[in-house]
A = this chain, B = another copy of it.
Amino acid sequence: MSGTVEVNEAGADSRSAKSATWVRRAEVPPFSPAQGIQIQPVIGESLMTCWIAMEPGAVVAEHSHVHEQLGVVVEGSVTLTVAGETRELVVGDAYLVPSDLAHNGVAGANGVLLVETFVPIREEYAKAWRAIAG
């Protein structure tokens, strides 16, 4: 990775320097894993927290992963289905998806902004982001 966005990654250098990482969302280039979805990650050593913005009706197809996933709705609404259980979530709701559990989602009429954390880091997201962020 180049130095242009290194402020957003706690890589070897910042680890040895032991300093905070400060991130402004507007300065984090988003990547798009699917139509109408933009992800802006903040990558730590053991965790990754992402702003995930979904346009109205945008769909996350069913998938699963080994990573534990804990999300909070900060704007709008989303309908999530996890292991066959469906809930509509609004601002102030949170959800925890255990590892390897199938889940999918659809953004509400006004879209949704989520703050989602993955442990361990989702390397395919980190890779997709670095491809854009440089």
On A, residues with C-beta under 8 Å from B are: 10, 14-15, 18-26, 42, 44-47, 49, 51, 68, 70, 72, 74, 80, 82-83, 85, 87, 89, 92-98, 100-101, 103, 115, 117, 119
Contacts and interface: CB of A to CB of B under 8 A. Distances in A.
- Count of chain copies: 2
Which 6 A/B pairs are nearest by Cβ-Cβ distance? A20-B82, A21-B96, A25-B92, A23-B94, A117-B117, A46-B119
A22 B87 contact: yes
A100 to B, nearest CB: 8
A117 B51 CA distance: 13
B18 A83 contact: yes
A32 B68 CA distance: 27
A121 to B, nearest CB: 10
12 contacts: A15-B98, A18-B98, A18-B101, A19-B82, A19-B83, A21-B96, A25-B92, A42-B70, A44-B70, A47-B47, A70-B117, A119-B119
